[in-house]
Structures are given as structure tokens and as C-alpha cells.
Amino acid sequence: MLSGGNYVVRLVQKVIADAFFKRARMVAVSESVRKDFHNIFGEKKKAIEVIHNGIDVDALRVRASEAADVIEGRYIVSVGRLEGVKGFDVLIKAFSGIRDTDLKLVIVGGGGENAFLVDLAHSLGVQERVLFLGYLRNPLPIVAKAKLFVSASWSEGFGLAVLEAACIGVPVICTGVGGLAELLEGDTHCFFKPGNYEELREKIEYSLYVKPVSVNLKEVLDIQASMRRYLELK
């Protein structure tokens, strides 16, 4: 939002930079966010600490076991705001090329592109197999029963929904951008280039019909450890 070059944008950049760097201890949730901030505001003397968000895996598993509406049949799932940056249009295009008519795509989330995405599914002839569930307080029971979690985001500061899916053992395919590139590692079928729906289709089909993708966290995202890091800031 602040990457433009006009006078107003530069003024806003200066005000924000002064407020944050002079009056606050700066923390970024990923190295990617830290780099983005420096690219926009420039390098400053006060360092930005990177503290990854913690995840309480035990609590995730409890939430994933809660009762939820049953979705019949096999499905893949994606969770996030229905906005352009999340790439749901790319995902729907990829899904429309999969010939398995018994497979469903479940999209959880609300946002400004809802009507556009519904129209896109209609135009591609997959409206009966793409389910828009809207915002759910707890999407994890739906995620836990999916054959695959897919994220087609163009950028991610941290990518919590993707990481949570990985933590509860759901195979993941994502663009590997931002924090996801830092925190996830897996075979070559786990990641695809942002916007490339043909590549995404191929990797979904590989994971579903050849071999499930394997992805792991590079580090333990312990919520207690993250809290301690914040408390130790000076």
C-alpha cells in the first residue's frame, strides 16, 4: 500500500517510520515482512526483530475435532480472505482443469471478491463442485477432513492458515511466498509459481492420484517460546 512514489505516500512513509522507529520496538512475524518494511522505509539504525508467530498444536487438534457440517465426498480446501492477493481465482482456474467430477473445492472465507469468484466458477462450469462456505469461526474441522490444503496467495506475511493445516497433518500445496518460504520445506510438488494455474493443477493431480505431497515445518512454532521472545524485548 505504501510502495508508491508520490509526495503524499512519501509523507505517510516518513510519519510512520518516525513513529515506529523512534517510539516503538519493531517486531516482524517473518524475515520477509522485515525485508518489505526496509524496502519501503529504508534501513534504520534500530533493528527489527523477527519473531515467528507461535502455534499451539494441541489446541489446534482440539479445535479440529469439534463438530462441523459434513461435506459429502472428497474435497480439497482453501482458507482466507476473498481478495485478489489470495489468488482464489488462480485456484478455481486450476480446479476447473481437473477431470475428476467427484472432487469438490471448498473455499472458506469472506471478502470483496466473493461475487467475482462465484461468477468465475459459473463461467468455468464448476459451480456445482466449488463450495463457498463464507467466514467460519473455526474452519479446522473442515480442513482436517480435506484431502489437500491449497494456498494460491501472491504474497503472505506469515501464512497462518497454511501452517495450521500442516501442523494437523493435512498435505499442503502453496506458492511458497513470504513467511511460507521461510517456514515450510517439502518435495518439489509442494510449491508452485504464483499465478501459474496449470502448474497448480498438475501438482494437485499428482498429490491426489500419484503420491500425497510431503511438507514439514523447518522449526517448531511453539507459542510459549514466541511469548518469551516478546517478553525479553528491550
> Could you tell me the fold of the domain covering 57-217?
Rossmann fold (3.40.50)
First to last CA, the chain: 29
Q: In the prediction, which pLDDT does 15 show?
A: 73
Angle between helices 7-23 and 31-41 (to 10 degrees): 120
Task: Write down the pTM of the prediction.
Answer: 0.87
* pLDDT tier, 185 (very low <50, low <70, confident <90, very high otherwise): confident
Average pLDDT for residues 223-232, to the nearest whole number?
Answer: 90
pLDDT in tens, 191-212: 999 999 999 999 999 999 999 8
CA dist., res. 13 & res. 213, Å (int): 42
pLDDT in tens, 74-84: 999 999 999 99
DSSP string for the chain: -----SHHHHHHHHHHHHHHHHHS--EESSHHHHHHHHHHH---SSPPEE-PPPB-HHHHHHHHTS--PPPPS-EEEEES-SSGGG-HHHHHHHHHT---TT-EEEEE---TTHHHHHHHHHHTT-TTTEEEEE--S--HHHHHT-SEEEE--S--SS-HHHHHHHHTT--EEE---THHHHHEEE-TTSB--TT-HHHHHHHHHHHHHT----EEESS--BHHHHHHHHHT--
CA dist., res. 71 & res. 49, Å (int): 42
Sequence spans of domains, the chain: 7-50, 57-217
DSSP string for 8-24: HHHHHHHHHHHHHHHHS
